C-alpha cells in the first residue's frame, strides 16, 4: 500500500514537473518541435520522390538527391507562403479601422430595424481598435515564426545530417536485443500512425485551403489567398479549426459588401466545404486507425493549446496518439491507453517491459 502511494505521488510530481518544463521552455522547445515537423515532412517527401519509378522500373532519383530536393522545395514553399501571409496581414491591418467602422454602422442599423429598447453598442462587444489589434497579433505571430526560421533551419539541418546514426543510438539505449527489438516495433507503429494521420490531414487541408481561396476569389472578396492559408492551417486543429476558418472570411464579407447575399453565399459555401471534407471525406480516409476518444481529443486540444498555443493545437492529436501507443505497451500504464482510446480495444502486443 505504501509503495503504491509512493509510486502515485512520484508519478504526479513527474507529470507536474514535465508540464512546468514544457511551459517554461516554450521559447526553446517550439523551434525544435517545428524543426522535427519539417524533418519528418522532408523525409516523407524524399521517400515519395525516391520511390517514384522511371519507365525502366528503377527509381528516378538517388536518395541523397531526393533528400536535397525535398529540403529545397519545402523551405522555398515556406518562404513564399510566409511572405504572402505577412503582406496580406499588413494590408488587412491597414484597412482594419474601416472594417470596424462598418461593423459599428451595421450594429446600429440592426438596433434601429428591430427597435430595441436597450441599443447594442458594438464597442461593448469589441472595443475601438479591437479588429486592428487582432490582426496585429496575427502578424506578430507570423513575424515570431519568421524570426526563428534561422534556428529552425539549423535544427532541421542537424537532424538531417545525424539521422543516419539514430537507429544505432536508439538500439544502444537498451540492455538487450529483445528490448531493443520491442522498442523498434513501438517506434514503427508510432511512425505509421503519424504518417497516416499527417498524410491524410495534409491532403484534406490543402483541398480545404484551395477551395476556400477559389470561392472567395470568385466572390471578389479581398485577401482570398490569406483566408485560404488560414483554412489550411486551422484544418489541422480538431473541431474548432474548421468553424474558425469559416467565421473569419464571413465576418469580412458582412462588412465588405453592401448586401447580405454575398455574405450568405460565402458562409454557406465555406460551411459546406468544411462539412463535406471534415465529416464525410476525411473520416472515410482516416478510418478508425487513430482510435482516439472524442472527449480526449478536445481535452488534449485545450491542454496543448494552453502549453504551446497554435503549434500545440496542431500537434495535439499526434502527441496523444504517441502517449496512447507507449502506454499500451506497459502493464502498469495500459489502463491509461484504454481510457484514451475510442472503444477501449487496445491491441495485444509484446511490451518492452516483458522483453
Category of 223 on φ-ψ map: left (φ > 0), alpha (ψ -120 to 50) or beta: left
pLDDT of residue 137: 58
* Contact by Cβ (8 Å): 316, 301: yes
pLDDT of residue 302: 87
What does the pLDDT average to over 168-172? 86
Instruction: Choose the weakest-confidence range: 10-19, 32-41, 98-107.
Output: 98-107
What does the pLDDT average to over 177-195? 83
How many CB atoms within 10 Å of residue 318?
19
pLDDT of residue 266: 93
Cβ-proximal residues to 345 (8 Å cutoff; 6+ apart), any chain: 291
- Among all chains, which residue has been given the C-alpha cell 454602422? 105
pLDDT of residue 146: 63
Enumerate the domain spans of the chain.
Answer: 28-52+60-164
pLDDT of residue 265: 92
Residue 293, phi then psi, degrees to nearest 5: -70, 140
312 pLDDT higher than 60: yes
pLDDT in tens, 315-340: 888 888 888 888 887 777 788 888 88
pLDDT of residue 350: 47
What does the pLDDT average to over 29-58? 77
pLDDT of residue 353: 47
179 pLDDT higher than 90: no
Q: How confident is the model at residue 210 (pLDDT cuts 50, 70, 90)?
A: very high
Residue 228, phi then psi, degrees to nearest 5: -65, -40
Q: How confident is the model at residue 12 (pLDDT cuts 50, 70, 90)?
A: confident
pLDDT in tens, 73-88: 888 887 787 777 777 7
147 pLDDT higher than 70: no
23 pLDDT higher than 50: yes
pLDDT in tens, 223-235: 888 889 888 888 8
pLDDT in tens, 242-277: 888 888 888 888 888 888 888 899 999 999 999 888
* Contact by Cβ (8 Å): 211, 177: no
pLDDT in tens, 109-129: 766 666 666 555 555 555 555
> To the nearest whole number, what is the mean pLDDT of the chain?
78
Amino acid at each position: 500500500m505504501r509503495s503504491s502511494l509512493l509510486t502515485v505521488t512520484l508519478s504526479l510530481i513527474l507529470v507536474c514537473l514535465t508540464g512546468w518544463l514544457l511551459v517554461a521552455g516554450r521559447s526553446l522547445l517550439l523551434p525544435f518541435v517545428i524543426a522535427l515537423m519539417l524533418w519528418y515532412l522532408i523525409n516523407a517527401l524524399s521517400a515519395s520522390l525516391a520511390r517514384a519509378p522511371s519507365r525502366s522500373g528503377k527509381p528516378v532519383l538517388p536518395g541523397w538527391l531526393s533528400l536535397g530536393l525535398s529540403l529545397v522545395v519545402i523551405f522555398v514553399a515556406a518562404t513564399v507562403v510566409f511572405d504572402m501571409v505577412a503582406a496580406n496581414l499588413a494590408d488587412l491591418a491597414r484597412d482594419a479601422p474601416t472594417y470596424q467602422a462598418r461593423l459599428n454602422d451595421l450594429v446600429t442599423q440592426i438596433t434601429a430595424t428591430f427597435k430595441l429598447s436597450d441599443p447594442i453598442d458594438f464597442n461593448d462587444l469589441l472595443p475601438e481598435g479591437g479588429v486592428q489589434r487582432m490582426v496585429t497579433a496575427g502578424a506578430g505571430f507570423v513575424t515570431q515564426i519568421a524570426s526563428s526560421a534561422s534556428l529552425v533551419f539549423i535544427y532541421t539541418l542537424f537532424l538531417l545530417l545525424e539521422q543516419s546514426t539514430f537507429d544505432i543510438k536508439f538500439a544502444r539505449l537498451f540492455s538487450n536485443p529483445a528490448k531493443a527489438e520491442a522498442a523498434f516495433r513501438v517506434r514503427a507503429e508510432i511512425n505509421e500512425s503519424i504518417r497516416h494521420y499527417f498524410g491524410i490531414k495534409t491532403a484534406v487541408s490543402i483541398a480545404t485551403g484551395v477551395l476556400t481561396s477559389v470561392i472567395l476569389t470568385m466572390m471578389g472578396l479581398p485577401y482570398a489567398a490569406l483566408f485560404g492559408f488560414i483554412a489550411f492551417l486551422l484544418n489541422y486543429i480538431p473541431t474548432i479549426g474548421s468553424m474558425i476558418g469559416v467565421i473569419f472570411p464571413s465576418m469580412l464579407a458582412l462588412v465588405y459588401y453592401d448586401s447580405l447575399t454575398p455574405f450568405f453565399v460565402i458562409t454557406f459555401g465555406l460551411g459546406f466545404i468544411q462539412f463535406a471534407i471534415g465529416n464525410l471525406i476525411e473520416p472515410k480516409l482516416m478510418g478508425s486507425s487513430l482510435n482516439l476518444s472524442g472527449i480526449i481529443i478536445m481535452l488534449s486540444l485545450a491542454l496543448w493549446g494552453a502549453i504551446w498555443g497554435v503549434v500545440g493545437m496542431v500537434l495535439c492529436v499526434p502527441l496523444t496518439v504517441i502517449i496512447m501507443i507507449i502506454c499500451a505497451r506497459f502493464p502498469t500504464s495500459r489502463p491509461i491507453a484504454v481510457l484514451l482510446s475510442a472503444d477501449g480495444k487496445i491491441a495485444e502486443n509484446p511490451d518492452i517491459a516483458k522483453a
